[in-house]
Amino acid sequence: MTSSTRGIPRRAAEEQATDLRPPPAEAGDLFSARARQYAHDRPLHDVHVLEAGCGWGRGLDLGTREHRSTGVDLDTPALRANTRRRADLDAWHLGDLRTVPMPPRAYDIVHAPFLIERVPHAELVLDRFVASLRPGGLLLVRLRDRDTAFGFLDRLLPRRLRERMWRGLARTAPRRPDPDGWRPTGPPPPALYDPVASRQGMRWYCVMRGLVIAEEYTSRAGIEAFGAGTRLLTGLCRVVAALSRGRLSADHSEVTLVIRKPESRFARVL
């Protein structure tokens, strides 16, 4: 069951979210830091992580803490090949994310980097993620914001330029020991940008589902991944933002959200 993110009062969405600010110094591995803190606060708890978008993204680093990881993603040849090479997954399921196995209240953390903008029916998929979270669990989302000049241009960029961007993002990803030498091959599927795949869309979604945005950050990683072309792309984004009369922002390209599912007797309705 879904409800549209359109038409929700802007004030309610803005009150739900924290103040927007640049990522902290640890933002490269922010999600792993939050996952380790979650596990530290529950020393006797068996932590189970859902790696949503397992065919391209990198998993969470929980240090020495024992945990289980299950992956889900779309089913394409490239994503299947990448998933098979991941030694950190205890199980994985590829296919339509509206139907792949996600038992209710089975996971403590749902890690979804760069997934929401590239899946169809994104709001329904998010509903499944939330239903699969235990009360008090974390939903860790990073996405390209469709309501930015960059998001607009990304829908128009030729395939070769999009691939260049993703190679740049892969180079700037946090480095940590990887004994299996795993690296994703090729870019993820092109973004579809459902309405919820935006800063405002996610704020509205959290208001409607009773979720709490604990942290919210923006970054220019997508723009800066173009290396020498960053200055040109920045200027182009500013032109697009001006032509949109402020509807599209030129200040960022990605949004990072740490979302909590309330731990209360009413959490069953989420």
Mean pLDDT, residues 114-130 taken together: 95
Does the structural domain 10-262 have CATH classification 3.40.50.150? yes
Residue 134: which of 107, 101, 112 has the closest Cα? 107
Nearest-angstrom CA–CA distance, 270 and 266? 8
Asked if residue 109 has pLDDT above 60, the reply is yes
pLDDT, tens digit (0-9, with 9 covering 90-100), for 126-137: 999 999 999 999
Going from the C-alpha of 155 to that of each of 151, 191, 222, the distances in angstroms are 7, 7, 13
Average pLDDT for the chain: 83
pLDDT, tens digit (0-9, with 9 covering 90-100), for 20-47: 454 554 444 899 999 999 999 998 889 9
Nearest-angstrom CA–CA distance, 256 and 254? 7
Mean pLDDT, residues 50-77 taken together: 91
Domain positions in the chain: 10-262
User: In the structure encoding, which two tokens stand for residue 68, read together?
Assistant: 């289980």
CB 218 within 8 A of CB 255: yes
- Positive or negative: CA dihedral 221, 223, 229, 231: negative
Q: Which of 37-46, 165-174, 202-211 has the lowest mean pLDDT?
A: 165-174
Mean pLDDT, residues 175-202 taken together: 72
| DSSP output for 46-81 | -EEEEEETTTTSPPP--TT--EEEEEEE---HHHHH
Mean pLDDT, residues 199-217 taken together: 96
pLDDT band at 154 (very low <50, low <70, confident <90, very high): confident
Asked if residue 174 has pLDDT above 70, the reply is no
- Beta bridge partner(s), residue 110: 50, 139
Nearest-angstrom CA–CA distance, 80 and 93? 9
What share of the chain in percent tops pLDDT 90? 58
Residue 221: phi and psi, rounded to 5, are -60, -40
What share of the chain in percent tops pLDDT 70? 77
User: In the structure encoding, which two tokens stand for residue 209, read together?
Assistant: 């589902």
Residue 134, C-beta contacts closer than 8 angstroms, at least 6 positions apart: 105, 106, 107, 108, 261
CB 187 within 8 A of CB 57: no
Please tell me which residue, 255 or 24, carries the higher pLDDT value.
255
pLDDT given for residue 127 in this prediction: 97
